[in-house]
Each structure stands twice: as structure tokens, then as C-alpha cells.
Structure 1
Amino acid sequence: MTSADARYALQASLFDDASFGVELGELGPTVQRRTLTAGAWVDVRPGWLTGSDELFTTLAETVPWKAERRQMYDRVVDVPRLVRFYPEGEPLPDPLLVAARDALSRYYLPELGERFATSGLCFYRDGSDSVAWHGDDTGRSRTEDTMVAILSLGAARPLLLRPRGGGHSIRYSLGHGDLLVMGGSCQRTWEHCVPKSTRPLGPRISVQFRTRGVR
């Protein structure tokens, strides 16, 4: 699959006006941190990228999306979303993603101690696309603190977090240029998911920036 199907076209948001340009906002005081348990935390910066619906359309139409399949018990099933991973050194599909990665690296470098290196894109076409409870704990993040920054484009979808193994969940509605960063021990002590929905929902693209050796 080389582009998004026309039926997954985004309904533009009245609050994400690109008439003044598509640009990243400031971080700093605009970032809201929530401390979780066991050394985990979450930062949120609503509307970090203004005019983000324009970037959504570009990525939906130009990224060479892949439909993956996986083994589940005794059968192979479709992964309920489209994906594309950009390893370190591979050019990103739009200069705005380079600018976002570099801005996050500059802002978080004193705390993180390294730069963001890879980018993973997920395309949630409608409410039937989802990702189950998990932590990005493959590689160094299984034993080390790290950060995963998520830039959400397109229609807002819930992202839920809960302590690993279960417990009360925290809900964020992310879309149209919102930024969420999971830090500290979050990937190994908490889990996150994007649940399915029976309600009509527009498409969303999630851009995940990670450090070297984390998936």
C-alpha cells in the first residue's frame, strides 16, 4: 500500500487552521507534566503543531504504509493499523518531522542525555483500528529509563495508560497536533493502548520518536 484510501480522508478541524502556516509551537512552560508511580511520568503539550491537518494529509498520501500480520495462537491475523518504521539514518517523509524530532531532542536532552533517533508511524484508519495494552520495552527500555514522544495528527483518539498488570487507567484524547511524551520508567512500569471504538471516528496518524535501541 503506497497511500491512504480515499475513504479515510480527514475531516479538518476548525481549531487547527493552517491559513497562518504549519509550524511547531514552543515547549517549555507550555508542557504539562503529570507524575505517575514507580518513577514514571507523562508530559502533554496540546496543539504543539498548528496546521497539522495539512501534514496528516501529506503523510497519509505519500508514506509507503505497510499492513502487517502476526501470529495469534493458532492463526495469523492482520495487525489492526498500518505502520511504517524509519530507523536511524533513514530520511523522514516530511521536513516537519525532522524539525519536530530536533526540537524534542533539544528540549529533552538535559534530562534524557541523548537525542531521539528513530521514528515509527501508525495509521489508525477508523475506530476499528487499535493497539492493545503494551509498553515499548523491547531493547534498552526493558531495563533503563527512556522517553517516547508521540505527535498525534488527524482526528482525536483516546490514549489510555495504566500501571503494568492492571489498575486504574488515565485517559488522554490526542489529535490535531497534540504532543504526549512518556518518560522515566513509563515503558516498563506502565502500559498504554489505543482502544477500538464502535463510534464513527476519523483517521489518525501517530508519530512516535524514540531513542536508539528502543522499540
Structure 2
Amino acid sequence: MDAPALPFQPSLLATGPTGPETSFAAARRIDLGRGAWVEVVPGWLSGADTLFAALLQSVAWRQREVAMYGRMVDEPRLSAWWGREEGLTDEALDRAPDALRRRLPALDARYERGFDAIGLNLYRTGQDSVAWHGDRFERSRPVTVVAVLSLGSPRRFLLRPTGGGRSRSIPMVSGDLLVMGGTCQHTWQHCIPKVARAGPRMSATFRRRVHPLERSGD
């Protein structure tokens, strides 16, 4: 799919070259209970809007179909993925944008995860969204870590206990990092809700999809 033409007003605080370093100095961890936690790192990546603009033009975006109410419908966002996933035609991790792959050592050093997959989701307007869910590749694992880097326009990231309950709202601006850890993927759900108006926004997601004990032949 060709790069979408989207109106985007970069922030003066998030322009400039994408920084080679990332900092966890401002990290704030929130205990969600039952072994779940999230960590929010404001301003983790400098030059985030510059990276947003480059990825918007260079990534081969596609719109996947999802099953809903017994039929297949277009997912209300665009996406691109790099890493191993059975049954899907994702690109190899070494073909992911270099500016994203360079973040893996910093994430691995802090969270000791061995991330092996990177995904991008593009929310073009406030009508693009993702419903309440727990990441399906992580729900079967007792504990896990999923990191999400926000790029572009601000959006709210919502969390609620699985099965329903009072939600938590975490505002995300360009360059912020949010990390879900522990039991979060099966004791909590998250979403990006539709809103009346919003500028274009990306989320870069870092996961570990293939674990040593899950590899064929091990």
C-alpha cells in the first residue's frame, strides 16, 4: 500500500534527528495487582516526530482483515510487522527499519526479554482504533513483557481488568514508551479508543514471539 497522505503537525519538542540513545531516567512503574505492572517512560526517544515522518513514507503499510461478528472486516488501522509468526507473511526482523532495531539492546538490557519482533500500527485519524484485548501471542505465558513506543500525535492508551472494571487512562505523546509486564496480558486488557478528532499516530511494538522451548525440535 502506498504511503498515506496524512495531515500532521510535528511538535517542536519531538523534531530534530532521532537520538542514538534512550533514557529510562523518568521511568515510573505502576503496580496493577495480581502480578501485573506497567512502566511509563516519558520522552524515551528524542526526535520521535522525525522518525514518524520517515516511517510513514518508507514502510510498506497494509490493512489486515479480522473476524468480527461472523465475518471478515478490515482492521481499522494500518500495520507492518517484522519477526517470526506462524501462518503470516511477516518480514524477517533484520529487514525492520534500522531506527527501530537499534532500540532492541536498550530494551533487552532493562527488561531482560530478548525481543525478537517489531510491529508498527498506524492510526490515521481518530476513527482508527483497536478494541479491548490482551496480546494473543502473550496470553498463554504466565509472565511477559511488551513495549510500546508512541510516535506522532497524542492518543489515550486505556487499561482495564480482564472481564471488565474501572479503566486507567495513560496519555501518550510522541517519544513516550509504555511497557506492560508480568501477568498484564491475561489479567488486564488494553485499547486505543476511537475519538472525534485526532492527528495521525503510530505505535511501535516490541515483543518476544519465539521462546527457546517453543522452537520446533527443542
Write the distance in 2 (CA, Å) between the matches of 1:12 and 1:184: 34
TM-score (norm 1): 0.89
Q: What is the 5 A alignment of 1:163-174?
A: 163-174=161-172
Residue of structure 1 aligned with 2:175, choices 161, 166, 177 = 177
TM-score normalized by the length of structure 2: 0.87
Matches within 5 A, 1:119-198: 119-138=118-137, 141-198=139-196
**Contact 1:63-1:93 within 8 A present in 2 as well:** no
Q: How big is each residue's C-alpha offset from its partner over 1:175-195, in whole Å with a ceiling of 9 and x where there is no partner?
A: 211000000000010000000
Mapping 1:40-59, distance limit 5 Å: 40-59=36-55
* Equivalent residue letter for 2:200: P
Ranges in structure 1 where 5+ consecutive residues have no aligned partner:
none
Equivalent pairs: percent with the same residue?
A: 43
CA drift of 1:92 comes to 4.3
Deviation at 1:86, TM superposition (A): 0.6
In the alignment, residue 202 of structure 1 is paired with which amino acid? Answer: G
162-171 or 69-78, which deviates more:
69-78
User: What residue in structure 2 maps to residue 107 of structure 1?
Assistant: 110
Range that drifts further, 154-163 or 114-123: 114-123
Structure 1: 4+ residue segments shifted above 3 A:
none
Aligned partners of 2:162 and 2:188 also within 8 Å: yes
Equivalent residue letter for 2:210 = G
Higher mean C-alpha displacement, 180-189 vs 69-78: 69-78
Deviations 1:22-43 (A, max 9, x none): 214312x421100001100000
Partner of 1:30: helix, strand, or coil?
Answer: coil
3-state SS in 2 of match to 1:57: helix
RMSD: 1.6
Aligned partner of 2:100 in structure 1 is: 97
The CA deviation string for residues 58-117 of structure 1, in whole angstroms up to 9 with x for no partner, is 1111110111122322433211000111115432442221121221011111xxxx3111
Deviations 1:119-171 (A, max 9, x none): 11100001000000000133x54232000000010001000001101111111
Conserved 8 A contact 2:143-2:182? yes
Checking the alignment, whether the CA contact within 8 Å between 1:128 and 1:196 is kept in structure 2 is: yes
1:148 partner amino acid: V
Q: Could you tell me how far apart the structure 2 residues matched to 1:213 and 1:115 are?
A: 10
Structure 2 unpaired stretches of 5+? 85-91, 212-218
Hey, which of these two has a bigger chunk of helix by percent?
1
